[in-house]
Amino acid sequence: MVTLSGVELESPLTKISELTSQIFDLGCARDDTPGCKHVIHFNNAGAALMPKRVVDAIIDHIRLESEIGGYEAAERAHDAVERVYQAAALLIGAEHDEIAMLENATRAWDMAFYAVPLKAGDRILTSMVEYGSNFIAFLQRTQRTGATVEAIPNDEHGQVSVEALGEMIDERVKLIAVTHVPTNGGLVNPAAEIGKIAREAGVLYLLDACQSIGQLPLNVKQIGCDMLSATGRKYLRGPRGTGFLYVRRQLIQRLEPPFLDVRAAQWVGSNRYEIRPDARRFENWETNYATKIGLGVAIDYALHWGLETIRKRVTSLAENLRAQLSTMPAVRLHDLGVERCGIVSFSVEGIEPEVIKQQLASQRINVSISIRSDTLLDMESRGLGKIVRSSVHYYNSEDEIERFCRAVDAIAKGAKSNVLGASERAPTS
Ligand SMILES: Cc1ncc(COP(=O)(O)O)c(C=O)c1O
């Protein structure tokens, strides 16, 4: 028997989930999310459903561009564009001049990573669950420079072993670059413990927060990272093609961006340029103003809910989902770690993940597939090929989780189910 706010609970997971949903205004969240009427969206780690106000802000700006001109619309929207820097800074406990807006998390991460000086003999330490694009960049740079990249072993729970990291540190380690939440599961790596070691050793620390931003409270000072990359379209519920980079103020001027243009620098003499002093040195000039504004609105919306509220709701829904899936004999759950988030990864014995995805899609339930090459070290070490990734957000309901589980159960048993009622069926056209 457990208690929550003094209430005794018989069946902990379901009851905690029900109680959290009573405290959380689910009706409001779903009303603000038009997509909830069309799909059961468990692909929030791919791209979440945008709230209506985000969509409106984007469309309004595009309309303004078409009516008065793109440059003129940007001038008129100056405050909304600046707001995105303030909102992103507020979200992660930074200052607005420490934020650069980029077109995705990968480019944000790249702009930081390729700016870190490396030479032969230097070491980069990373996580077992590092994302494919990051690792490809490690390989390119280590092949170019003669530096090396090493994965920090996991502890017995499957998260980065902080102890092993401590033992790996020496004067040759120039960068710790780890993924907070991997693309392929609910693991949350101990970002702040890693930060403590990085600080003590005086080693640069780059955190890939692409999958954690918007579902977990993040504070760069508490984490102790020097650089952090994030995307807009996932748990932040912003538009696709948006992302941002944080770089600690004291570090900005020590990092020369791999690319420069007229946004990042000023051409001040026929053979001279000056790089701007703030984090916008990592940006480039031409940008999508509409989606930038949309990202600002999405971040403000997340802040309005509160990141701790979001975390509680998302993790409780995910635990509920894991609990229900774990009762199915053919289902194998794959989430690692002590702390787990809204991503629930699983496979069903004897059924290809694509078949599961397709059969769920035919019932308008969205999931995605994690493939081996996206997190090669992790998948190889666990002998995994492809797995199903279901990822919940706060606007998902307990009822959707039950329907989802009924559908998975039916697929596992080789039967077709249709969990949507007649009124909810997709239009035929
Ligand atoms: C851990 C991680 N890092 C980085 C990325 C890349 O993000 P983006 O597609 O915004 O560049 C992803 C995408 O899924 C990811 O899961």
Each residue of 59-70: pLDDT tens digit? 999 999 999 999
The protein residue whose alpha carbon is closest to atom 15 in ligand 1 is 183
243 pocket-lining for ligand 1 (C-beta < 6 Å):
yes
Contact assessment for residue 238 and residue 54, using Cβ atoms and an 8 Å cutoff: yes
Distance in Å from the first CA to the final CA of the chain: 51
Range 180-203 average pLDDT: 98
The DSSP string of 382-423 is: TT---EEEEE--TT--HHHHHHHHHHHHHHHTT-----S-GG
Give strand pairing partners of 343: 391
Residue 420 has pLDDT above 50, yes or no: no
Tell me what pLDDT residue 5 has: 35
The DSSP string of 335-364 is: --SSSB-SEEEEEETTB-HHHHHHHHHTTT
Contact assessment for residue 291 and residue 80, using Cβ atoms and an 8 Å cutoff: no
Residue 342 has pLDDT above 90, yes or no: yes
Indicate the burial class of 310 (C-beta count within 10 angstroms; 0-12, 13-18, 19 or more): buried
Tell me what pLDDT residue 21 has: 54
Instruction: Say how many Å lie between the CA of residue 326 and the centre of ligand 1.
Output: 28
Tell me what pLDDT residue 16 has: 53
**Of residues 50 and 418, which shows the higher confidence score?**
50
User: Measured on CA atoms in the order 335, 337, 340, 341, is the torsion positive or negative?
Assistant: negative
131 pocket-lining for ligand 1 (C-beta < 6 Å):
yes
Angle of the 289-305 helix axis to the 52-68 helix axis, nearest 10: 150
The DSSP string of 150-164 is: EEPPB-TTSSB-HHH
Please state, in angstroms and rounded to a whole number, the distance separating the CA atoms of residues 205 and 191.
10
Tell me what pLDDT residue 22 has: 56
Q: Between the CA atoms of 134, 111, 228 and 186, what dihedral angle is there, to the nearest 10 degrees?
A: -30
Tell me what pLDDT residue 427 has: 37
Please state, in angstroms and rounded to a whole number, the distance separating the CA atoms of residues 165 and 198.
9
The protein residue whose alpha carbon is closest to atom 14 in ligand 1 is 183
Per DSSP bridges, beta strands 99-102 and 40-41 are unpaired
Quick one: residue 94, left, alpha or beta (phi over 0 = left, psi -120 to 50 = alpha)?
beta
Tell me what pLDDT residue 3 has: 38
**Residue 307: helix, strand or coil by DSSP?**
helix
184 pocket-lining for ligand 1 (C-beta < 6 Å):
no
Please state, in angstroms and rounded to a whole number, the distance separating the CA atoms of residues 211 and 188.
10
113 pocket-lining for ligand 1 (C-beta < 6 Å):
no
374-391 tens-digit pLDDT: 999 999 999 999 999 999
Contact assessment for residue 334 and residue 182, using Cβ atoms and an 8 Å cutoff: no
**Residue 48: helix, strand or coil by DSSP?**
coil
247-270 tens-digit pLDDT: 999 999 999 999 999 999 999 999
Q: Which of 44, 133, 391 maximizes ligand 1 atoms within 8 Å of its Cβ, making it the mutation to test the pocket?
A: 133
Count the neighbouring beta carbons within 10 Å of the beta carbon of residue 277: 11
Instruction: Say how many Å lie between the CA of residue 290 and the centre of ligand 1.
Output: 21
Contact assessment for residue 287 and residue 117, using Cβ atoms and an 8 Å cutoff: no
Q: What is the average pLDDT score of the chain?
A: 93
Instruction: Say how many Å lie between the CA of residue 189 and the centre of ligand 1.
Output: 16
Q: Which residues of 326-353 are buried (b: 16+ CB within 10 A; e: fewer)?
A: eebeebebbbbbeebbbbbbbbbeebeb
This prediction has a pTM of 0.93
Range 162-177 average pLDDT: 98
- The half-sphere exposure of 178 on its side-chain side, counting CA atoms within 13 A, is 33
* Closest ligand 1 atom, residue 104 Cα: 10
Instruction: Say how many Å lie between the CA of residue 389 and the centre of ligand 1.
Output: 14
**Main-chain phi, psi angles of 349, to 5 degrees:** -50, 125
Please state, in angstroms and rounded to a whole number, the distance separating the CA atoms of residues 258 and 255.
9
Q: Which of 231, 242, 389 maximizes ligand 1 atoms within 8 Å of its Cβ, making it the mutation to test the pocket?
A: 231
Q: Which residues have CB under 8 Å from 287's CB, separation 6+?
A: 101, 103
Tell me what pLDDT residue 236 has: 98
